[in-house]
Structure 1
Amino acid sequence: MGSVSNNTINTNVKACSPLTGAKRLREMLKDPSKVVVCPGVFDGFTARLALAAGYDALYMTGAGTSMSRLGWADLGIATLNDMKSNAEMIASLNPSVPLIADADTGYGGPIMVTRTVTQYARAGVAALHIEDQVQEKRCGHLLGKQIVDREIYFSRLRAAVMARDQLQSDIVLIARTDSRQTYGFDEAIERLQEAVKIGVDAVFLEALQTKEEMEKVCQIMGETPVLLNVVPGGVTPEYTIEEASKMGFRIIIYPGLCIGSVLESVGKELKLLKTTGKSSPRSSANGVKDAFNLCGLQECIEIDKEAGGKAYATVGK
């Protein structure tokens, strides 16, 4: 008997969902008044919390994936297999909710980029972004980034577009450039303009430094959707969703949203136990049961019951 995959049990969406995440995202981007807001998630638990909060789309952060799965900072250590398997698990929790996933540099030359796009598309990812850093990349808001030549970057994007088209996939391709910090705003714009000619669906200018730059990139890119990366404490000024929408941004991601919350709350709880010898009142059995319910306990019990099973008859009581 074969093993059961993450996609086998999907308790949040009916099997006959009319739209996949990729198709739904494309529908969202067709509406010029719609802004796609994505909290950054990095595992099944944070993804479940975001889904329960009612978000229309999610963003799988590469930094969060590297730290949660490997325990290491975002320095290009996570591989295609690390990223793809995490994205597939998150996307499977509710396939009708679009998941935008970090794909770093595509993990190699054109052949590897083709493989990356193919695997992400088959994993149910709605969109991915590919950047122009060297393979030994780092978080977009850290200093000292090294950028590849234009033609290397464009070859990555051409490979991604070819893979999407050959698959006849709806996956949304986002061209990300980190060249603003090293070569300036104009170079970054020219790279993105060429990316649109190559055939990407949206663009992402990382580490914008002023409000004027934020407004200008949206004006220049016209009808092409522009993604805004919101990193509190980063180099890009932070504005509300409404303010960013008025500037022209169509996709807004908050990659560190859950990272910061977990770092603060869990760190505080661990310190409390270490110093006082007991946990806070909320760290109780009821809290664990609430977490189980968040992660599909009742739906699994119902599946077992409808199939005639009795193994979990008393679990939910």
Structure 2
Amino acid sequence: MSPALSLAPTSIPDAWKPKLENRLANTTAHYYNARLDPSNYMDGPLSTNPATRLRQMLARPGIITAPGICDGISARCAIEAGFECLYQSGAATTASRLGQPDLAIATLNDFVGLISFKAAEMVCSLDPTVPVIADADTGYVYSSTSRISGRVSSYEASFGGPAMVARTVTKYARAGVAGLHIEDQVQTKRCGHLLGKQVVSREEFVTRIRAAVLARDQIPGGSDFVIIGRTDSAQVLGMEEAITRLKLASDAGADVCFIEGVKTKQLLERTVAALAPKPVLVNVISGGLTPSFTSEEAEAAGAKIIIFSLVSCVSMVHAVRAAMRALKETGTDFSSAQGMGPREFFEVMGLHEVVTLDSKAGGSAFVSI
């Protein structure tokens, strides 16, 4: 990729902008699919298909609040609490599955693999009607980076690029996920609320989104799978560039625009106004770059989806730390159990549903349990 199309964490030279914008204009036609027009999802009962259900929720009034989940326990607790949409957080899932920080350590195989009950597949199986939005990072495009005159040049390896993004979309859709977001960070990415982020060119970002949309549209039967375009460029290139990238993602077919690391309510309102009527997603992490908006505050600012990425895993750290300290100090788990025995725990995990199914099917394995 030529330096003229490379975006580093510095401002873009004015002399480059016309050339870049003309090239993008010539390669990115405005996407429209009449079947997926929001007006088609405004009426009628909510579908049991999670992707269709998510589109209905996007088309109708009210903000969508999606707690970040990372495993079966957190997903069960979120469903029990009554949340109508879940967010499979990449950071939380990496922490839960690998015990590692969110620094591009996880791969596609760690999220949706051929082995049963991998993260997304397992979560979707708990209640197939509840939409799950997945964090697909960069779309699992394998890139290499090199320094060119102090800038970062990102180029795709021969086995990556649009084909890998398309494969990711297909695998997530097959797992029962309702939608996913793809971002514009380089492959050696990090959590969107950490410093030092670097992003790829506008052109490469749009290529990722276009590949995701094409893959969705090629799913037999006409899929409602939701494609979310996420930009991390606000921190390194400024809000104007971030909004421009999201407009390009929208034109390429992104159904929702995700502005990561927005620092004030005013900037969120500005983003919503610039992208209207496209739905906007905001990510709130306590102690992160974005203020701790409530769902009501985010809705008042015009956001359509608010996710709380680390709500499960951070609370897990506090709870498990306290339980381990208590066990170490007292030699028993009595206080941390808080009266919850094995049966009560398994009830949260769906014991009643399994026993009922076994009985209705004529089984007798769980008559006494």
Please, what TM-score do these two structures have when normalized by structure 2?
0.79
The residue that corresponds to 1:300 in the other structure is 354
8 Å CA contact 1:110, 1:155 repeated in 2: yes
**Which residue identity is paired with 1:221?**
L
Alpha-carbon deviation of 1:281? 3.2
The residue that corresponds to 1:100 in the other structure is 133
* Mapping of residues 1-317 of structure 1, within 5 Å: 18-31=47-60, 33-84=61-112, 85-108=118-141, 109-167=161-219, 168-283=222-337, 286-315=340-369
Alpha-carbon deviation of 1:282? 4.8
**Which residue identity is paired with 2:327?**
L
The residue that corresponds to 2:14 in the other structure is none
8 Å CA contact 1:131, 1:176 repeated in 2: yes
Whole-angstrom distance in 2 between the partners of 1:185 and 1:302: 54
The residue that corresponds to 2:25 in the other structure is none
Alpha-carbon deviation of 1:285? 7.4
8 Å CA contact 1:129, 1:176 repeated in 2: yes
Whole-angstrom distance in 2 between the partners of 1:58 and 1:304: 28
- Three-state SS of the structure 1 residue aligned to 2:211 is helix
- Three-state SS of the structure 2 residue aligned to 1:281 is helix
Alpha-carbon deviation of 1:286? 3.8
RMSD: 1.3
- Three-state SS of the structure 2 residue aligned to 1:100 is strand
Whole-angstrom distance in 2 between the partners of 1:29 and 1:304: 37
The residue that corresponds to 1:4 in the other structure is none
Whole-angstrom distance in 2 between the partners of 1:119 and 1:125: 9
The residue that corresponds to 1:6 in the other structure is none
The structure whose Rg is larger is: 2
Please, what TM-score do these two structures have when normalized by structure 1?
0.91
C-alpha distance 181-174 of structure 1, shift in aligned 2 (>3 A): same
**Which residue identity is paired with 2:225?**
I
Whole-angstrom distance in 1 between the partners of 2:363 and 2:226: 41
Which stretches in structure 1 are left out of the alignment for 5+ residues?
Answer: 1-16
Whole-angstrom distance in 1 between the partners of 2:309 and 2:178: 16
